[in-house]
Amino acid sequence: MERRTAPPLARDASAVDCHYALLWQGQPTVTERQYRRGQFVRMVKQPGALSLGPAGWLPAVRAHSPFDVVICAIDPEVADGIADDTGACTRPLHDHRGICDAPLAALIATAAQEVDAGGHAGKVFAESLTLTIISRFLFVARNDVARNDAAPALRADPAPLPRHRLRRVLERIEADFSENLGLAELAAESGYSRAHFLRMFRAATGKTPHQYLQDFRLDYVRRMLASGHAPGDIGGPTPAREPALAELAACAGFSSHSHLSRLFRLRFGVSPDAYRRDCRHK
């Protein structure tokens, strides 16, 4: 995932070894793409539009205006593995230029923001988002016409994760919630592949693994704030000291104090400091 801003340019034909999805941003971009030797076709890429293509030969392109684009590169082997795992159709991938697909555009924009933020939401979020992007890409790129109202070619009603396997996953989250858990680690506890685990966990809990882990961390912080204890001394009769929010954020697995504060306010409607003050006065 890479943001790229550049002045007008001309690029010769070349080969690429990855599938790609380009999300056009900023101002409308005027381009010309070579379809036959010596013949270029003019296009205007509107902000929010997508250009998709499979690995292979890229025709020459001329950009007649500055452009701002997010480039999402996809390893074909990874894409094939996800397609096999999800039972997606095996139609060939098609080029799509300047199309509109709101779900894929939103996913790529979210991934770009997460990259810009330094991956503060953690591995389980990044890996879940990656799987969803690739699944949506495969669905759109394998259709002759991309439609905004079309749903990904995934099983509509996946079976929920069996209770004994769900219990193992939840126990792993409870034991290691402060760590940077990844989707692969949680899926391994379930015995299913990442793609199947992602759908079955949501069917069982109503949440994605990232949402569940985030809520667990926030509830932990809320309990610490209400008790007045620092992490590690919650069993004592009286609080030895009140922990700083930065300490709580680190112990709960959040990337920073500001990350914790933003999510805490969204979840509980008040800042962590305000919540702690309210608890003192009760």
Give pLDDT tens digits for 100-126: 999 999 999 999 999 998 888 899 999
8-state DSSP, 152: P
**What does the pLDDT read at residue 108?**
96
Closest CA to 131 of 196, 189, 48: 196
Same fold, 2-141 and 220-280: no
Q: What percent of the chain has pLDDT over 90?
A: 59
3-state DSSP helix/strand/coil percent for the chain, to nearest 5?
Answer: 45, 20, 35
CATH 1.10.10 applies to domain 220-280: yes
Q: Where exactly are the structural domains of the chain?
A: 2-141, 163-206, 220-280
Cβ proximity of 49 and 98 under 8 Å = yes
Q: Which of 148-157, 221-230, 247-256 has the lowest mean pLDDT?
A: 148-157
| Cα atoms in the 13 Å half-sphere on the side-chain side of 105 | 18
* Contacts of range 223-229, beta carbons closer than 8 Å, 24 or more positions apart: 224/248, 225/272, 225/275, 225/276, 225/279, 226/275, 226/276, 226/279, 228/276, 228/279, 228/280
Task: Report pTM.
Answer: 0.80
Torsion angles phi and psi, residue 97, rounded to 5: -120, 120
- Token pair for residue 241? 């000291």
Report CA torsion sign: 97, 38, 67, 44.
negative
Q: pLDDT value at position 241?
A: 60
Environment class of residue 135 by beta-carbon count within 10 Å: exposed (0-12), middle (13-18) or buried (19+)? Answer: buried
Instruction: Write out pLDDT tens, residues 195-218.
Output: 889 989 999 999 999 999 999 999
What percent of the chain has a predicted confidence (pLDDT) above 70?
87
Burial class (CB in 10 A: 0-12, 13-18, 19+), 96: buried
Instruction: Tell me the pLDDT band of 92, cut-offs 50, 70 and 90.
Output: confident
Q: Is residue 223 very low, low, confident or very high in pLDDT (cuts 50, 70, 90)?
A: very high
Of the candidates 281, 272, 171, the one whose C-alpha atom is nearest the C-alpha of residue 224 is: 272
Averaged over 52-76, what is the pLDDT? Answer: 92
Q: Yes or no: is domain 2-141 CATH 2.60.40?
A: no
Per-residue pLDDT for 156 more than 60? no
Give the burial class of 247: count Cβ atoms within 10 A of its Cβ; 0-12 exposed, 13-18 middle, 19 or more buried: middle
